Every structure is written in structure tokens, then in C-alpha cells.
Amino acid sequence: MARRKKIYEGKAKALYEGPEPGTLVQYFKDDATAFNAEKKSVIEGKGVLNNRLSEFFMTGLSNIGIPTHFIKRLNMREQLIRQCEIIPLEVIVRNFAAGSMAKRLGLEEGVQLPRPIIEFSYKDDALGDPLVPEEYIIAFGWASQQELDDVIALGLRVNDYLSGVMYGVGIKLIDFKIEIGRIWEGDFMRLVVADEISPDSCRLWDVESGKKLDKDVFRHDIGSLTDAYSEVAHRLGVLPSNGKIDANITQIN
């Protein structure tokens, strides 16, 4: 069978040409990277879990009226998405201090912030995705002021949805990263949540024990990443409570 044309390959995902114009197939790999790809590994089953979890969150967002690029899951590792023009920003939303923010401000990890805080990094691996102020974004034309206002509003809505869903299963949403894309419909443009939403791009702590259930498990070698992600999936009902992921299966329906 002829392989579809690969459009792009990133650290954790690859994009292939979709079956119709304006669509792409997003493939979730098992590769894990951290610290700007200084630390690398292959974690069997991670791609399968993230495909399922991202489907779950994107579908939930769409059900409450937040537009996303997600169309449908195709199989264990692939989903059909709408092609969009990615705004070159990582939109980071924080509820509690952690990671780079805790370090920068000398805050203890887990301290609740006075309110959700949004920050932006410019997507450029060679530069290590530097944090940028809003003024840079407007001045360099990465997004217009109107788009930026819309991105902030979207980020806060996604935060309310994700925090609520997570809290309902005993998980605290510490922070997360999303990417936003533009989709053109004739002369009209709308912004959609793109890329993925998964424990690779969120910090998730068990409410009771504070146990980490996200990529920090890999970053700091504190256990099995697939166990952590499987736990999130089980709690959300994305996997049956005793279900096991067979990482080698690529086609199910």
C-alpha cells in the first residue's frame, strides 16, 4: 500500500496528507523528549494513550462550543484533523506555580496563583521557545491584537473546561500548553484549538497525594510514564478500568 505523503515530523507527532483537501492525518509517536530535546526516549504505548486522551479533550471542548481542529480518531495512533495555519506561539495557562515559572520567580511548586495566568513562548526550537511579551507578538506580526485577545479568551475557556473535568476525577490542573490555529472559510478566519491536549502538555497532580501524572514523570525519572498516563485515561473513562493498551496495534475501530 502506498504510504501517504508526510507533511511534517515533530518530536512527538507526524502529519500526513489527509484524504480530502483541508484535512491532515495526525500520527502520535511513542517518542518522548524534554528539556528542549536534550533528554529523549521511546516510551511504548505513549502515542496510543495521547491519541485517545487528545480525542477525549478535543471532543469535550467542541461539545461546549470551543472550536478545535479535531475531526475524528481514525485508529490507535492516528486522528483526522482540519489543516490550519498554526500561530507560532505556545500558549501557556497556569493555575499553580510549577516548572519554569516557579524557577523564575523562586516560588514553591504547587503554590496557587492569584488568578489563572497566561504567557506566551515563541515557537522556535533553535532558540528554545523563548518566553515573549505580548508587545513582541504584535510588533513582529505573529498575531494581531484582535487575535491575541481571542487567544487569551480561548485559553481561559479551555482552562475552565480542563480544570473542571480534571477536578471531577481527583486531578489538579497545575498548568498546560495549547497551540492555536487559523482556519480560513472564504474571507472569514476563525481560531481553533490545534495540536494536542494530553499529559505531555499539561501538569496534572493527584488532588489527594500530589502524585504527578504527567510528563514530569519522564522529565525527572520518577516512575513509569505509561502507568501515569493510563491512570489519567482510566479515571476519565477513556480506557476501561482494567483495560491495557496494546501499543503494537495500529488499526482498531
Q: Which spans of this chain sit near ligand UDP (rule: CB under 6 A)?
A: 90, 92, 98-101, 129, 175-177, 201-203, 215
CB of 184 to ligand UDP, least distance (A): 26
Give whichever of 44 and 125 is closer to ligand UDP, judged by the CB atom.
125
Give whichever of 43 and 74 is closer to ligand UDP, judged by the CB atom.
43
Beta partners for residue 193, in sequence order: 68, 180
Exposure string over 45-78, b if 16+ CB within 10 A, otherwise e: bbbbbbbbbbbbbbebbeeeebbbbbbebbebbb
Q: State the residue number with the nearest CB to ligand UDP.
A: 99
CB of 219 to ligand UDP, least distance (A): 7
CA separation, residue 114 to residues 8, 102, 195 (Å): 39, 14, 28
**Rg of the chain, C-alpha, whole Å:** 18
Can you read off the three cell numbers belonging to residue 217? 514523570
Q: Grid coordinates 491575541 are at which residue? A: 148
Give whichever of 18 and 120 is closer to ligand UDP, judged by the CB atom.
120
- Contacts of 13 by beta carbon, 8 Å cutoff, 6+ apart: 26, 27, 28, 29, 196
Give whichever of 51 and 201 is closer to ligand UDP, judged by the CB atom.
201
Run of H or E residues at 178? strand 171-185
Give whichever of 74 and 217 is closer to ligand UDP, judged by the CB atom.
217
Give whichever of 74 and 213 is closer to ligand UDP, judged by the CB atom.
213
CA distance 67 to 61: 7
Alpha helices in the chain (DSSP H): 46-63, 99-105, 134-139, 145-168, 216-219, 225-236
